[in-house]
Amino acid sequence: MDDYPLLNLFLTMMYVFLWVLWFFLLFKVVTDIFQDHSLNGWAKAAWLVFVILLPYVGVLVYLIARGRSMGRREAKQAEDREEAFRKYVRQAARPEDGPGPGGGHVSELAKLAELKDKGHLSQEEYDKAKAKLLV
């Protein structure tokens, strides 16, 4: 370790960081090319060839030419994912349509089972009420 000065260690760490950052940026640009619905197939192929054959220039030109719309597309996708999540949560939290103010066959069946367990309903009464709910 004596042959490797501290400054060289910092420089090596910086190079590794920049190398990882470069690949992240390259993958981000390639992903954006494929996810952009405003580009047709030929335009996507042209951008992809440009980015692969001349990676540094291609990525730089792509960011200059389409960087702003890249950010808008990313924000729109985040909003769409958020809205889909909220819609799923509302749908999952909504009680089933059915009898009773609490709504839902599940809650009614739970109430019937509780009444039967407490002895307020006989097995026969429970079966009749359950059949009524499930029809």
In a domain, 41, yes or no: yes
Total number of domains constituting the chain: 2
Query: Token match 């709910």: residue?
Result: 133
State the residue range of the domain holding 31: 6-93
Q: Say whether both 62 and 114 belong to one domain.
A: no
Q: Say whether both 85 and 117 belong to one domain.
A: no
Q: List pLDDT tens digits, range 12-62.
A: 999 999 999 999 999 999 999 998 888 999 999 999 999 999 999 999 999
In a domain, 84, yes or no: yes
N- to C-terminal Cα separation, the chain: 79
Q: Say whether both 68 and 113 belong to one domain.
A: no
Q: Say whether both 117 and 54 belong to one domain.
A: no
The radius of gyration of the chain from alpha carbons, rounded to an integer in Å, stands at 30
**Where does residue 133 rank: exposed (0-12), middle (13-18), buried (19+ CB within 10 A)?**
middle
Q: List pLDDT tens digits, range 120-130.
A: 888 888 888 88
Q: Say whether both 85 and 110 belong to one domain.
A: no
Q: List pLDDT tens digits, range 62-107.
A: 999 998 899 899 999 999 999 999 988 888 777 555 444 445 677 7
Judge contact between 31 and 42, C-beta under 8 A.
Answer: no
**Average pLDDT of span 110-129:** 85
Q: Say whether both 121 and 81 belong to one domain.
A: no
In a domain, 99, yes or no: no
Q: Say whether both 46 and 78 belong to one domain.
A: yes
Q: Say whether both 77 and 116 belong to one domain.
A: no
Q: Say whether both 18 and 49 belong to one domain.
A: yes
pLDDT for the residue 45: 94
In a domain, 1, yes or no: no
In a domain, 67, yes or no: yes
Query: Residue 102 phi/psi, 5° resolution?
Result: -75, -20
- DSSP per-residue string spanning 9-74: HHHHHHHHHHHHHHHHHHHHHHHHHHH-TTS-HHHHHHHHHHHHHSHHHHHHHHHHHHHHHHHHHH
